[in-house]
Amino acid sequence: MDQPHGNTNQADANENIGIMDRLRVATAQQHEDAENHPFQQAFFAGRLKRESYVRYLVELHHLYQGLENQIRESSAGTPDLASVVVDENLRVGDLSDDLHYFDARPEDAAPTPTTKKFLAYVSELSENCPIALLGLHYVLEGSNNGSKFIARNIRRAYDLAERGVRTFDPYGSDQRQRWLEYKTRMGRLKLTAAQEDAIVEAAKQMFRLLGSVSSDLMPEQLQEAIV
C-alpha cells in the first residue's frame, strides 16, 4: 500500500512523538468532521428514533465484525496486532447482546454502500499492510471515551439500564484504565516510519468512513430519524 511521503523535517518531528500522540494530532480534523455530522449529533443527544438507533447498532455490527475478523486472521502473521487488540477490546459480543435486547439481528439490514467499501478496505489492508488495521481499531476503541457519556443520553432516551447500550459503555467505571492500558500497549510497539504512516492514514480514513456511514443512514430529512 503506497503511503504519502512527508518532508524530512516532518519525518524528524514524527520520530520525537509516540504513535498515540501522533494519531491524536494527525486525525484531529477528521475526528471533528465525523463528530459534527448531523446524524452523529442526533445520536449523541439521544434524539434518534428508537428504530434509527437500532439500525445504527446493526450497521456497527457489520463494521466491527468485519474488522475484528480480519484482525484475528492477520494476528498470526502480524503479532503486533494481537499484542494491542486483546479480547476485552472486541465489541461484536456487546453488539450482538444489544441487538438481541431489541429483538433485532445483524441480518435484518444489509451493509450500507459505505460499509461495503469499508469491508473491502479492511480486506485490502489485511492483505497488503495488516499493521494498518490498528489505525482503524484505534478510532473505534478511542470512541469509547466519549460514548461512555453519550450512553447516559441513550439510556434516558430509550429507558435502558445496561443492555441495549453495552456497546457504548463497555468498560463502565474502568474506562479510563482500559484506555490507558490500550495506549500503553500501542506505545510499546517498535514501528518503522512506514508502519506509523500506514496506521495514521488508516485512522484518518476510518473517521471519513464513519462520517460517510452516517450519511448512508440519514434519511432524506434528518427530522424523520429524530424524535
**Separation CA 62–CA 111 (nearest Å):** 6
Structural domain harbouring 118: 19-218
Q: What is the pTM of this model?
A: 0.88
The answer to the question of residue 61 being in a domain is yes
Residue 97 forms part of a structural domain:
yes
- pLDDT tens track for 17-39: 799 999 999 999 999 999 999 99
Q: Would 2 be classed as within a structural domain?
A: no
Q: Please tell me the predicted confidence (pLDDT) of residue 227.
A: 54
Task: Say if 1 falls within a structural domain.
Answer: no
In a domain, 194, yes or no: yes
Total count of domains within the chain: 1
SS3 48: strand
Which pLDDT score, from 0 to 100, does residue 12 have? 43
> Can you spell out the DSSP letters for 133-161?
HHHHHHHHHHTHHHHHHHHHHHHHHHT-S
CATH number of the domain to which 57 belongs: 1.20.910.10
Is residue 4 a part of any domain in this protein? Answer: no
Residues of the chain with pLDDT under 50: 1-16, 221, 223
At residue 218, the pLDDT reads 84
Alpha helices (H) in 16-112, listed in sequence order: 19-26, 28-35, 38-44, 50-75, 79-84, 92-101
Give me the pLDDT at residue 225, please: 53
The answer to the question of residue 50 being in a domain is: yes
CA distance 31 to 26: 10
